[in-house]
Amino acid sequence: MERPERVIAQTMNIGDYDDLQALAGMLGDDRLRSVLTHAEAGWFDERSWAYWHYRLGLADADNDPPSMPSRKFA
């Protein structure tokens, strides 16, 4: 697999509850945090982006999730 982080992100973005539980159990929260913090534009939709930031402790009620990655054109 050439880009495992991309596959992990796709599962985080479109997986169902069972997929997400299995993924977290196999990889652990630290690996999921790494994928999230290094995500490229288009890897997550807004709902998943917010969910994972709260789920992984990267945002809380006092701190909104950071802006999503965006593509920049020269």
Give the residue extent of every domain in the chain: 4-55
- As a whole number, mean pLDDT of residues 13-22 equals 95
- As a whole number, mean pLDDT of residues 14-39 equals 96
Q: What is the pTM of this model?
A: 0.88
Burial class (CB in 10 A: 0-12, 13-18, 19+), 12: buried
pLDDT tier, 64 (very low <50, low <70, confident <90, very high otherwise): confident
Tokens of 42: 């288009």
pLDDT tier, 29 (very low <50, low <70, confident <90, very high otherwise): very high
Q: In a 3-state reduction of DSSP, which class is residue 62? A: coil
What confidence score (pLDDT) does residue 30 get?
Answer: 97
pLDDT greater than 80 at residue 1: no
